[in-house]
Amino acid sequence: MTKTIKIILSISLILFFQIGIFPHLKIFGVYPNLILISIIALGILRGFKETLIWAIIGGLFLDFYSFNSIFGISLICLIVVSFVAFFIVQNIFKKTNSSSVALIFLITVTLYDLLLLVFYKILGIEFEFTFVKLIINVFYNAIIAMPVFYALKKLFPSRNI
């Protein structure tokens, strides 16, 4: 129970930074998604089992602070990307370094955006998509993700890395 409360408090803090600070970092209409970055980082560092509860709470917050008419889309996407991040670490990059971590972020952030796009298309939600914006978003998130990853690595030392 206390663990869940700690997670809720931590994600709340991430959310406050996301709402208060990150909109000012807007470049070409995109800014990093700190909740997404943190969940992927935890997926790499601590594995899927531990990240699942973070992904559920983080996904709920993302959904509350989104404009979607369908509740839960971000939550499902977040769970899938945290699993994929863990899967890549376990099966592809057995020895991770900065470049492999950056590559995992590039892959998973792209996957997250594409999953959202697929959900929006299937459910008929209007969504503005441009390839250029997707590329900028993916690289911008991956760049910001690196310091976030190493900060989280200190707070949540990895079992594998």
Partner 1 sequence: MSFKVSKKYLVIFLVLILGLVFLNLFPKPAKALENFIFKVFSPVQKIFIRTGNKISDFFQILISIKDLNKENAELKQKNSDLEAQLTQLKEIEKENETLRTALNFAPKNTSLYEIASVVGKNIQGTEEWILIDKGTDDGVEKNMAIISEEFFLVGKVIEPNKDFSKVMLITDKNSLVAALIENRRNEGLVQKEEGSDKIFLDFIPKTEKVEIGEKILTSGMDNIFPRGILIGKAESVDSSENQLFQKITISPAVDFNKLEQVFILKNK
Q: Determine the interface stretch with partner 1 among 37-45, 87-95, 97-105, 152-160 (rule: CB under 8 A).
A: 87-95
Q: Please identify which residue in 9, 66, 98, 122 interacts with partner 1, judged by CB under 8 A.
A: 66
Q: Please identify which residue in 97, 99, 124, 126 interacts with partner 1, judged by CB under 8 A.
A: 126
33 binds partner 1 (CB under 8 A): yes
Q: Name the minimum Å distance from CB 77 to partner 1.
A: 10
Cα gap 24→121, rounded to integer Å:
29
Q: Shortest CA distance to 159 belongs to which of 55, 4, 47, 7?
A: 47
Q: In this complex, which beta carbon is closest to partner 1, that of residue 98 or of residue 129?
A: 129
C-alpha 78, offset from chain centre: 6
135 binds partner 1 (CB under 8 A): no
Cα gap 87→135, rounded to integer Å:
23
Alpha-carbon torsion 56, 62, 64, 67, what sign? negative
First to last CA, the chain: 28
104 binds partner 1 (CB under 8 A): no
Structure-block tokens of residue 79: 């769970």
Q: Name the minimum Å distance from CB 82 to partner 1.
A: 11
Binding interface with partner 1 (CB under 8 A): 12, 15-24, 26, 28-31, 33, 35, 48, 52, 56, 61-62, 64-67, 70-72, 74-76, 79, 83, 87, 90-92, 116, 126-128, 130, 132-133, 137
